[in-house]
Structure 1
């Protein structure tokens, strides 16, 4: 493991808003924990860094909002179409930090961290990436964020 970060850490409140993402803390949480991890250790210059986003339920608050709005006959704002796919925030992180490896989003069937590490090991082993940023994030059934973890792995490191 090259670096690890969590959100929240002592002294943290809500993650800062993320332009272009509305209603939910999912995308801001992903961006905040990824940024914190990458500030602790940036990938080596010239390396291809994959982003692996892992979430069993994805952006549950946004999905619930869209479902309720449609059920009530309301109109969905265009930003919800953009942010409804977890790849949008993973791509935002990659663009913001200049990461040029693959972007992968997983909905784990077992242990989320083990699934993320297995995907990262595959990307590293196959030569698709030299480093992998893993971001694990979940929301509770009520839509409240339960937190997030970001881990930066490189060739020969372990979680």
Structure 2
């Protein structure tokens, strides 16, 4: 892949799209819409490219998750529980970092590339694409699943975009 041409968009998905309700729950994740939203948009994007799970053998796919705010609902729940002197459930230790849901996606789809989580300092898609390009150009992956997510501050699920980048034909 030449640096001048950049990677191609092999598939793209959004959540929500017309007709979508809440994203389906993800086993092992509680309280927050962040993990289900990430998983739903990733599944939709990967399905558009590869059909059923897993990805074809020999395809190294990286996951790049980009979110400025991360899992707001889980963070707020932990903050409020600690402030009230309560005990935090063990699942919150697992899901308190965004790479836990990225790892879940990688395991479910058989992805064997790197998993990277970013809090963007500039425009989120540009920052995520730059990271994905590094992984592709360095030979760490053949494809990179870029997931951009921000939850709405009012507690509604928010929205997410997933873009699969690589050299192949769209």
1:10 matched residue in structure 2: 18
Question: Structure 1, residues 9-44: CA drift from partner, whole Å, max 9, x if none?
Answer: 000000001110000000000000000001100255
CA distance in 2, matches of 1:71, 1:144: 23
Name which of 33, 45, 48 aligns with 1:37. Answer: 45
- 1:7-156, aligned counterparts within 5 Å? 7-42=15-50, 45-155=57-167
CA distance in 2, matches of 1:137, 1:21: 17
- TM-score with structure 2 length normalisation? 0.89
Q: Secondary structure at the match of 2:158?
A: strand
- TM-score with structure 1 length normalisation? 0.95
Q: Is the 8 A contact 2:102 2:115 kept in 1?
A: yes
Could you list the runs of 4 or more consecutive aligned residues of structure 1 that deviate by over 6 angstroms after TM superposition?
none
CA distance in 2, matches of 1:75, 1:101: 36
Equivalences, count: 158
Please tell me the root mean square deviation across aligned C-alpha atoms, in Å. 1.4
**Unpaired segments ≥5 residues, structure 1:** none
* Worse overlay, 7-16 or 134-143: 134-143
**Unpaired segments ≥5 residues, structure 2:** 1-8
CA distance in 1, matches of 2:155, 2:17: 20
